[in-house]
Amino acid sequence: MRPGRQLAVLGLIFVVLYLLVFFSGGASGGWKDRLEPRLGLDLVGGTRLTLEATNTLDGRPPTAENLEEARQIIESRVNVYGVAEAEVVTEGDRNIVISLPGENRDMSGVGEAAELRFRKVLKITDGSGAIASPAPSPSASASPQPSGSVSPKPSGSASAKATASPGAGGQGGGAPAASPGASPSASPSAPAASPSASAAPVPQSIQQQRAAVEKKVGAAAWAAASGLQAPADLAADPALAEKLKPFGQLSPQEVAVLTPEMQFNVPTITCAQLDDRPAGSVKDEKQRAVACEGGAVKNLLDVAKVLGTDVADADAALDQTSQWVVSLKFTGDGQGKWTELTREAFNNAGNACDASALGQDGKCRVAVVLDNKIVSSPEIQGVLTGDSQITGNFNQKDANALAGNLRYGALPVTFVEQEQQNVTATLGDSHLRAGLLAAGIGMLLVILYSFFYYRLLGSVIFLSLVLSALLVFGALVFLGRQIGFTLTLAGIAGMIVSLGVAADSFVIYFERLKDEIREGRSPRSAVPRAWIRARRTIISANAITLMSAVVLYVVSVGTVKGFAFALGLATVLDLVVVFLFRHPIMTMFARTRAFLSPRVSGLGRALPARTEQANPRNPRVKEA
């Protein structure tokens, strides 16, 4: 063999790895800063967020099964970028506690319900609370300009797009081919269903909450709001404006229990109140809903005919214009529902969409509603039979977060954030110092024993362990930046265990080498033969360790997962050192004169035993 080639490959691996450590994306600061691995919660402290499960609108508390399902979904969300060593645990019968390494971590949105609904936009009106006509005028700043569109692609695949237009106050815009036009105007004579006619039966608890709201606003205000058939023109009726004024003082929680028609028709109920409603306020797909877009335009939405459960997969990607979008793939049944919904919107079946809600080309718009807010509301310009995209001026982080929420499903329980606080690592620091001290003493004893028992061969053990440690350290720094791997006390334990396994493989190799020499072979010929026989055992032992690490990583959670990852990584890199350093360096040692000396090589009595077999009449050798 040519050991120089293998050593050159190992050197190249080191050069590439540490070039990535010092100059890859995410590397910043001085040389010392670039060599710092990403440490876990128990070593550097972190951020802890407590989410409290709230009762649903029907008054039922969350079940233990729903709470555990929510915990698993939240854990998948926070780990969506890789091994983040997140701790997601339930506390009591309604709390979920999330702990992430690093202080002041942004965990906004991790507890959102992520209920996705596709609803036709039936009507729009001003939601700013201004005393003005409910029919948005072309010059009104709150008037939406729905230039967004959804149209089939020439290739046959579909793309549902809506890009925010600056002139729409955050309103979803759309396909590049669509040109802006005049703002739609609402028709005061458009038919509207009364609250009593369209409101579905509600649980008794909501009836009680509505009664409390009725008492708060007064009988006159409640009667006036209940009698509205369309958004009221407060400018033309000052007396009505005075009656409806108490609705502007309601909290978002109180607004949430009102019927959709009342939320839409009462002008003093604003988008500020609607946007802050509790999560799950528009969850019921069998009822109409009201949601805002751009913070100033109220949309009356039809029942949801396509749900988040109809989406098979969601991924963040760049479109042809280098904008971040969320690509949706529907299930078999979901694709049929989506096609039927776009057909209804394209044909405006039954004239369900009011003139105020139509797009630039006179077609209905379909709102993509996530929780209580509209992400986009593109105009449907064709019957779509393929996958679609959600666009809305996303950056990469927002697109990945939305795709992750949709991919892992909606939470079965709604949550509110109770507190977010930073936690220290005082206990972890002391444990780290004690652990590193114990590891240092242990490794020192291993090295001293190796030099005492194997002498020259002990240097091979020492250098191999040093090279393995350098490879593992560089890999940890690089993976910490790329996939979010964080080093914890459990991970350090995994690496120490792997170094012990590596030391055992030396014993296998060296003792096999002694056996070959005792059988009468020269040291130079014994080295490759011993390698061939010991290699199988070394690979088998490391393969078992690696499989154990993989199984443990798959079935475990939290810090145990970090232990398994570190153990598996260190085992793989140890095999790299075995093949690219240990074997070639032993081949080079076998060619030296020192290797033939029992006192220097560390082969002990193997060499004298071989000489005695070759010269049985030599008394000096026999005596030795």
Among candidates 384, 365, 362, which has minimal Cα distance to 376? Answer: 365
The alpha-helical segments, DSSP class H, found in 152-302 are 195-198, 204-217, 219-226, 238-244, 252-256, 260-265, 271-275
- 482 or 85, which is more confident? 482
- Which is nearest to 266 in space by CA: 226, 238, 235? 226
Predicted pLDDT at 138: 31
Q: What are phi and psi of 320, to 5 degrees?
A: -70, -20
Between 439 and 620, residue with greater pLDDT: 439
Of the pLDDT bands very low, low, confident and very high (cuts 50, 70, 90), residue 11 is very high
Predicted pLDDT of residue 122: 92
Model confidence band, residue 121 (pLDDT cutoffs 50, 70, 90): very high
The pLDDT score that the predictor gives to residue 153 is 42
Average pLDDT for residues 256-279, to the nearest whole number?
88
Predicted pLDDT of residue 85: 61
> Using one digit for the tens of pLDDT, what is the confidence trace for 55-77?
654 556 677 787 888 888 887 77
Q: Could you report the per-residue pLDDT of 396-446, keeping only the tens digit for each?
A: 877 887 777 777 666 777 777 777 777 676 656 777 777 778 878 888 888
Confidence of residue 450 (pLDDT cuts 50, 70, 90): confident
Own/partner long-range contacts of 241-246 (Cβ < 8 Å, ≥24 apart)? 241/131, 241/267, 241/268, 244/268, 245/221, 246/216, 246/217, 246/218, 246/221
Which of 14, 12, 11, 8 is closest to 475 using CA atoms?
14
Domain boundaries, the chain: 3-29+426-614, 46-111+416-423, 116-186+206-410
* CATH class (in words) of the domain with range 116-186+206-410: alpha beta
C-alpha span between 273 and 291 (Å, rounded): 10
Q: Are 165 and 173 in contact (CB under 8 A)?
A: yes
Give the number of other Cβ atoms within 10 Å of residue 378's Cβ: 33
Q: Contact at 8 Å (CB) between 129 and 274?
A: no
Res. 386: pLDDT tops 70: yes
Q: Taking the domain 3-29+426-614, which CATH number applies?
A: 1.20.1640.10
Of 107-116, 150-159, 287-296, 596-605, the range with the lowest mean pLDDT is: 150-159
pLDDT band for 151, please (50, 70, 90 cuts): very low
Question: What's the first-to-final CA gap in the chain, in angstroms?
Answer: 35
Q: What is the band of 102 on the pLDDT scale with cuts at 50, 70, 90?
A: low
Q: Which pLDDT score is estimated for 173? A: 34
Q: In DSSP terms, which residues pair with 416 in a beta bridge? A: 52
What are 118's strand-pairing partners? Answer: 306, 368
Query: In the prediction, which pLDDT does 301 show?
Result: 92
C-alpha dihedral sign at 313, 316, 317, 321: positive
Confidence of residue 145 (pLDDT cuts 50, 70, 90): very low
Q: Considering only CA atoms, which of 146, 162, 80 is closest in space to residue 388?
A: 162
Q: Considering only 400-409, 468-477, 530-539, which range has the smallest mean pLDDT? A: 400-409
Mean pLDDT of all residues in 497-514: 82
pLDDT at 426: 60
Same fold, 46-111+416-423 and 116-186+206-410: no
Confidence of residue 132 (pLDDT cuts 50, 70, 90): very low
Q: If one looks up domain 46-111+416-423 in CATH, what number appears?
A: 3.30.70.3400
pLDDT value at position 431?
73
**340 burial level (CB within 10 Å; 0-12, 13-18, 19+):** middle
The fraction of the chain above a pLDDT of 90, given in percent, is 9
**DSSP string for residues in 476-540:** HHHHHHHT---B-HHHHHHHHHHHHHHHHHHHHHHHHHHHHHHTT--HHHHHHHHHHHHHHHHHH
The whole-angstrom separation of Cα 301 and Cα 370 is 13
Per-residue pLDDT, 620: 42
Say what percent of the chain tops pLDDT 70.
76
Q: Confidence band (pLDDT; 50, 70, 90) for 109?
A: low
d(CA 575, CA 84): 26
Amino acid at 130: A
* CA–CA distance, 513 with 587 (Å, rounded to integer): 12
Q: Between these two residues, 152 and 393, which has the higher pLDDT value?
A: 393
Environment class of residue 120 by beta-carbon count within 10 Å: exposed (0-12), middle (13-18) or buried (19+)? buried
pLDDT number for residue 235: 80
Distance separating alpha carbons of residues 68 and 75, to the nearest angstrom: 11
pLDDT tens-digit series, residues 602-617: 675 666 544 444 444 4
State residue 446's pLDDT score.
83
- Average of per-residue pLDDT values in the chain: 76
pLDDT digits (tens, 9 = 90+) for 175-225: 333 323 333 333 333 333 333 334 445 555 778 888 889 999 999 999 998
Q: How confident is the model at residue 120 (pLDDT cuts 50, 70, 90)?
A: very high
CA–CA gap between residue 139 and residue 359 (Å, rounded): 17
CB neighbourhood size of 426 (10 A): 9
Contact 28, 87 (CB under 8 A): no
- List 149's β-bridge partners, or say none: 379
pLDDT at 489: 81
DSSP string, 256-300: HTS-HHHHHH-TTS-HHHHHTSPTTTT--TTS-EEEEETTTEEEE
Query: How confident is the model at residue 399, as a pLDDT?
Result: 81
- Pairing type for strands 149-152 and 379-380 reads parallel
Q: Which pLDDT tens digit goes with each residue over 25-41?
A: 767 777 777 888 877 77
Cβ-Cβ contacts under 8 Å for 224 (sequence gap 6 or more): 240, 243, 244
